[in-house]
């Protein structure tokens, strides 16, 4: 109890140190705890709503209607005790008055949904959709179509060859996904009302889904496996029906949710680590002030073990208080994430801090304070009471055992940083890459900082009094200067690295180098409409680009091995491969063209032969495969691939691999066939329209819908804007956490400036006695910390150029662009913030009366 009372009394006496220690560590912990709370709340929301998200217990889906035999097989396996619902989903154009736009048709039957429900403004039901040609839509969709009145019969909506009226507005609908980002808004209609629209034609991209709901006691995974086996047997190992249950939803949504929380979590780890550096510095200063007191206690009989417990108690208490404060701060930070991610995550997430998060915060606070301060803590081993009591300096020479102990004291902190990085990243690979990159950046900045402050000795040889004093202080206090330099540089590095990558992505989306972004992308042009469509576009004086045929087919084999395996991928027996094989696609879109598009580049192999392939030839036809597709499915140059096109088996061989710049928004495909293979097959066409003036786009869209109701027109400029909004939101979230790291650095600057001002109090008072005014002392402080902020930001920006270039090359195919304006702004603001913070921290000491020095000397 004696040591506890002494520890409490010392902390109260040194409340300035205790306050800054708690505040600094709590800022680092707050971001991490807020991210953890948000992540757990998001996962809990998904777990609690999996059935509502799927709207069923089990779903069968395919790109064509299920045959009577397939439906009979499903009923036989699933049993009679099931509820069923149907949904037909596809994209098409809707027109109202002079407005036409792309929408997603959701044709439902009366039982839909089996889980979840509509929230409608009126009192309509699904039965109304089945009886009448009417629709449900949101008010935003109605507004974009110029619809302001929902009275039945007063609003005409044209879908294909049939007119509909607006029945009701829905506020929320049962079809939920993780994100609210959609290619087009949804319109609900009765499944019976599809008749007469003429929208479902050959080659139309349509998804047919059958939903099933079982009793609570039903073993859904067992039924899914049994039904999958039956479909495989009935189709000779080549099923075309996809089977989904809540496990698929959980895996997919969990992976996407991990992207949101994982990258922000990694940035929060950096903020925590930087806060730890500043915390260690604060503790070092505190321990230096207490060395004489510790020596007195040891002279009075205190053992090293007693001193360890005494100091450890203080650290654990400070860490606990920091944890409590971080939890309070996280309560204000966590609600900001749904605002930042608005449109990217489900609305109405219930955010809560659960007991696991509280335990994590307390554990990290107590353990973190000990781990961060361990390198300083072990210096107690070297305290010699006799030397301290005599007032002599400790012998600087260290034994080998002390050197090893000092080096080993850094290992727990590094190991904890690596472990937390791996856990937050979600994989050993990503966590290791992040930890290695962070360590490399930290090492570079530390070396640069040490060289800069060592060089300040030469800079102090100036005739300018302000510069001489400031640079001498920086040289004499290299460790404190270096701690401040590293924390600010790492925060500025994180903030600077994001705009470089983001600007490159934005430029590549809106203005890709060497390519022209089309205005419209056209889907589902029928074969018999091709010539008429070309004539129509010529009459409209619009440029029709890259008219590309599209034929749907299936991949059956690769080198005589089945492409699809219910249990595993070809050539692999791992559990991960079995999970991938369960949901592996078989149906793909194929095409052919005489010459590659400007957005395509062959990276391996030879161009496809210009000679049309002969069906009577003994050699397989040639195939061009997109590089990422080949990597995903393990395809290599020279592989023999078996296909089924419109019921006809065909055999091809991979001739080349090519890269595709998908951001060109031109018709592109994963697989291109040699000329002559698909020419006579039933097909539809994709195309792009370029060079349409903004004031003529809506009129052209209306004209296309009037002449070709089945053709879907996608506004590429709107899609590009959606993609840019996603990148903006993601970059904003990372910058949000980076500014939190800067905040931790500013607290360290404040505490370091305050500590240095107090340590140099005699020097400041002596300058006053010798006639120096307040302006000179203020100028010394501004130059000292302005130099730290400027050099830290400068080297952080230079380092961010290299890292952002590497990130752009590795993840985004070299889409990188230098943002000079943002870099200068970061350099200027960081310097000013550092100067202002330091001036505020040292103002009290600078305004102290010089008589204090004279009183002490007397």
**Poorest-pLDDT segment among 151-165, 421-435, 695-709, 835-849:** 835-849
pLDDT for residue 88:
94
Kindly report, residue by residue over 441-478, the tens digit of the pLDDT: 888 988 999 999 999 888 888 888 888 888 888 888 78
- Strand stretches in 129-234, DSSP E: 134-137, 157-159, 162-172, 186-190, 206-213
Q: Are 837 and 746 in contact (CB under 8 A)?
A: yes
pLDDT for residue 489:
83
Residue 107 in this model has a pLDDT that exceeds 90: yes
pLDDT for residue 641:
93
Lookup result for tokens 């902020």: 789
Q: Which of 230, 208, 225, 245 is nearest to 70 (CA)?
A: 230
For residues 572 and 640, which has the higher predicted lDDT (pLDDT)? 640
Residue 776 is encoded by which pair of tokens?
């000179």
Buried b (16+ CB within 10 A) or exposed e, 232-261: beeeeebbebbbbbbebbbeebeeebbebb
Kindly report, residue by residue over 208-223, the tens digit of the pLDDT: 999 999 988 888 889 8
Residue 571's pLDDT band (boundaries 50, 70, 90)?
very low
For residues 766 and 279, which has the higher predicted lDDT (pLDDT)? 279
Structural element, H or E, at residue 209:
strand 206-213
Residue 106's pLDDT band (boundaries 50, 70, 90)?
very high
Q: Are 174 and 53 in contact (CB under 8 A)?
A: no
pLDDT for residue 329:
83
pLDDT for residue 110:
92
Kindly report, residue by residue over 286-330, the tens digit of the pLDDT: 777 776 677 777 777 777 677 777 788 888 888 889 888 888 888
Kindly report, residue by residue over 710-765, the tens digit of the pLDDT: 888 888 777 666 666 666 666 666 666 666 666 665 666 666 666 666 666 666 66
Residue 279 in this model has a pLDDT that exceeds 90: no
Q: Among 35-49, 263-277, 824-838, which range has the highest average pLDDT?
A: 824-838
Structural element, H or E, at residue 189:
strand 186-190
Cα R_g (the chain), whole angstroms: 34
pLDDT for residue 152:
46
Query: Residue by residue, what is the 3-state secondary structure of 104-116?
Result: EEEEECCCCCCCC
Residue 581's pLDDT band (boundaries 50, 70, 90)?
very low
Which DSSP state fits 573? -
Residue 267 in this model has a pLDDT that exceeds 50: yes
In terms of residues, how long is the chain? 858
- The pTM is what? 0.66
pLDDT for residue 737:
61
How far apart are the two ends of the chain, measured CA to CA in Å?
A: 40
Looking at residues 811-815, what average pLDDT do you find? 56
Looking at residues 11-22, what average pLDDT do you find? 82
| d(C-alpha 314, C-alpha 292), whole Å | 18
Kindly report, residue by residue over 412-450, the tens digit of the pLDDT: 777 887 888 887 777 787 788 878 888 888 889 889 999
Cβ neighbours for 126, distance < 8 A, ≥ 6 positions apart = 108, 109, 110, 111, 112, 118, 190
pLDDT for residue 638:
92
pLDDT for residue 577:
38
| d(C-alpha 643, C-alpha 648), whole Å | 8
Looking at residues 676-698, what average pLDDT do you find? 87
Cβ neighbours for 779, distance < 8 A, ≥ 6 positions apart = 466
Residue 445 is encoded by which pair of tokens?
């900045």
Kindly report, residue by residue over 613-669, the tens digit of the pLDDT: 988 888 899 999 999 899 888 899 999 999 988 888 999 999 999 988 876 778 889
């Amino acid at each position: 109890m004696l040591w506890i009372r002494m520890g409490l009394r010392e902390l109260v006496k040194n409340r300035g140190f205790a306050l800054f220690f708690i505040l600094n560590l709590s800022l680092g912990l707050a971001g991490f705890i807020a991210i953890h709370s948000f992540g757990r709340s998001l996962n809990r929301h998904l777990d609690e709503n999996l059935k509502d998200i799927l709207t069923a217990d089990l779903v069968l889906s395919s790109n064509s209607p299920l045959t009577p035999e397939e439906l009979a097989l499903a009923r036989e396996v699933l049993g009679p005790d099931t509820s069923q619902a149907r949904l037909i989903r596809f994209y098409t154009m809707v027109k109202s008055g002079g407005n036409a736009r792309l929408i997603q048709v959701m044709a439902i039957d009366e039982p839909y949904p089996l889980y979840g429900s509509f929230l409608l403004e009126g009192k309509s039901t699904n039965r109304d959709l089945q009886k009448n040609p009417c629709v449900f839509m949101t008010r935003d969709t109605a507004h974009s179509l110029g619809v302001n009145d929902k009275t039945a019969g007063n609003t005409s909506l044209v879908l294909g060859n049939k007119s509909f009226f607006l029945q009701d507005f829905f506020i929320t609908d049962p079809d939920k996904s993780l994100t609210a980002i959609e290619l087009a808004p949804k319109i609900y209609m009765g499944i019976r009302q599809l008749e007469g629209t003429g929208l479902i034609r050959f080659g139309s991209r349509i998804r047919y889904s059958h939903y099933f709901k079982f009793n609570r006691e039903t073993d859904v995974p067992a039924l899914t496996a049994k039904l999958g086996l039956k479909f495989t047997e009935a189709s000779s190992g080549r099923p075309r029906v996809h089977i989904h249950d809540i496990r698929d939803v959980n895996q997919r949504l969990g992976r996407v949710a991990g992207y949101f929380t994982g990258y922000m979590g990694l940035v929060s780890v950096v903020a925590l680590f930087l806060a730890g550096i500043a915390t260690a510095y604060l503790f070092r200063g505190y321990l230096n002030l207490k060395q004489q007191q510790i020596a007195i206690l040891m002279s009075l009989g205190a053992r090293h073990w007693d001193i360890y417990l005494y100091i450890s108690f203080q650290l654990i208490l400070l860490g606990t208080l920091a944890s409590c404060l971080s939890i309070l701060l996280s309560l204000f930070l966590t609600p900001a994430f749904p605002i930042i991610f608005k449109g990217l995550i489900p609305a109405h997430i219930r955010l809560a801090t659960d007991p696991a998060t509280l335990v994590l915060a307390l554990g990290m606070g107590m353990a973190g304070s000990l781990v961060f301060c361990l390198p300083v803590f072990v210096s107690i081993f070297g305290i010699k009471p006799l030397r301290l009591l005599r007032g002599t300096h400790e012998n600087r020479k260290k034994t080998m055992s002390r050197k090893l102990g000092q080096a080993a004291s850094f290992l727990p902190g590094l190991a904890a940083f690596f472990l937390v990085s791996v856990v937050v990243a979600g994989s050993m690979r990503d966590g290791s890459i992040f930890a290695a990159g962070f360590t490399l950046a930290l090492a570079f900045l530390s070396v640069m900082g040490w060289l800069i402050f060592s060089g300040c000795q030469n800079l102090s040889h100036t005739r300018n009094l302000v510069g001489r004093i400031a640079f001498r202080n920086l040289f004499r206090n290299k460790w404190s200067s270096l701690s401040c330099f590293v924390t600010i540089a790492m925060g500025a590095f994180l903030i600077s690295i994001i705009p470089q990558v983001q600007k490159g992505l934005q430029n590549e989306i809106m203005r890709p180098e060497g390519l022209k972004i089309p205005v419209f992308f056209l889907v589902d042009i029928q074969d018999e409409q091709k010539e008429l469509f070309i004539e129509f576009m010529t009459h409209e004086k619009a440029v029709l680009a890259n008219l590309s045929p599209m034929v749907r087919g299936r991949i059956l084999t690769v080198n005589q091995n089945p492409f699809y395996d219910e249990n595993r991928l070809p050539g692999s027996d791992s559990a991960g491969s079995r999970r991938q094989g369960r949901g592996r696609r078989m149906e793909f879109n194929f095409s052919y063209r005489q010459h590659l598009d400007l957005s395509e580049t062959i990276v391996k192999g030879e161009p496809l032969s210009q000679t049309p392939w002969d069906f009577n030839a003994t050699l397989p036809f040639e195939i061009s495969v997109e590089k990422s597709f080949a990597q995903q499915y393990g395809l290599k140059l020279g592989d023999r691939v078996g296909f089924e096109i419109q019921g006809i088996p065909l055999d091809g061989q991979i001739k080349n691999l090519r890269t595709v710049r998908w951001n060109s928004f031109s018709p592109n495909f994963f697989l291109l066939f040699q000329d002559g293979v698909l020419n006579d097959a039933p097909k539809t066409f994709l195309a792009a329209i370029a060079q349409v003036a903004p004031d003529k786009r809506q009129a052209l869209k209306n004209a296309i819908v009037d002449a070709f109701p089945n053709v879907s027109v996608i506004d590429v400029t709107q899609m590009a804007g959606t993609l840019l909004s996603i990148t903006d939101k993601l970059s904003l979230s990372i910058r949000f956490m980076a500014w939190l790291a800067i905040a931790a650095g500013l607290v360290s600057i404040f505490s370091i400036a305050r500590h240095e001002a107090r340590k140099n109090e005699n020097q400041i008072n002596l300058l006053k006695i010798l006639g120096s005014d307040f302006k000179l002392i203020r100028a010394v402080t501004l130059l000292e910390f302005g130099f730290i902020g400027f050099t830290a930001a400068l080297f952080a920006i230079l380092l961010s150029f290299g890292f952002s270039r590497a990130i752009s090359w590795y993840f985004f195919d070299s889409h990188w662009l230098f943002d000079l304006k943002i870099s200068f702004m970061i350099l200027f603001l960081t310097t000013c913030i550092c100067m202002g913070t330091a001036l505020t921290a040292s103002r009290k000491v600078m305004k102290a009366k010089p008589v204090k020095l004279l009183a002490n000397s007397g």
